[in-house]
């Protein structure tokens, strides 16, 4: 449920959220936490409750985390790729990040 500022609480993100919702990136400690956040963002994009630019900012913050490869498992990559597809469908014209595509992990 969102608090009075529209920030993410209990895994839900609502319209009207300001940049403070990016603090939810800090609360991600595991692949399961990431799945909860990504699923909420995907649902919000599909229902148009989340503006695409907010989803892009959140995804950008997640992809720039130092531990992204440890929390971005195959399931989370698939959700992230679907989110990216929603962003592209909304008119955002950016290249797909390698971690969300079928490219191998560059660390190996």
pLDDT at 105: 53
pLDDT of residue 3: 42
Q: Where are the domains of the chain?
A: 19-100
**Whole-number percent of the chain with pLDDT over 90:** 36
CA distances from 89 to 17, 45, 46, 54, 83 (A): 22, 11, 11, 15, 10
d(CA 85, CA 92): 10
Query: Between 19 and 21, where is the model more confident?
Result: 21
Continuous segment of H or E residues that includes residue 71: helix 68-71
Mean of per-residue pLDDT scores for the chain:
79
Task: State the helix-helix crossing angle for 31-46 and 52-63, rounded to 10 degrees.
Answer: 160
Closest CA to 8 of 46, 32, 44: 44
């Amino acid at each position: 449920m969102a608090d009075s500022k529209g920030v993410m609480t209990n895994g839900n993100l609502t319209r009207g959220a300001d940049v403070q919702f990016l603090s939810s990136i800090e609360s991600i400690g595991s692949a399961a936490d990431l799945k909860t956040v990504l699923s909420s963002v995907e649902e919000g994009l599909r229902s148009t409750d989340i503006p695409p630019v907010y989803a892009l900012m959140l995804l950008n913050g997640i992809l720039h985390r130092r531990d992204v490869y440890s929390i971005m498992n195959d399931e989370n990559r698939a959700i992230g790729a679907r989110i990216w597809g929603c962003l592209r469908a909304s008119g955002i014209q950016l290249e797909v990040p390698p971690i969300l595509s079928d490219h191998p992990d560059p660390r190996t």
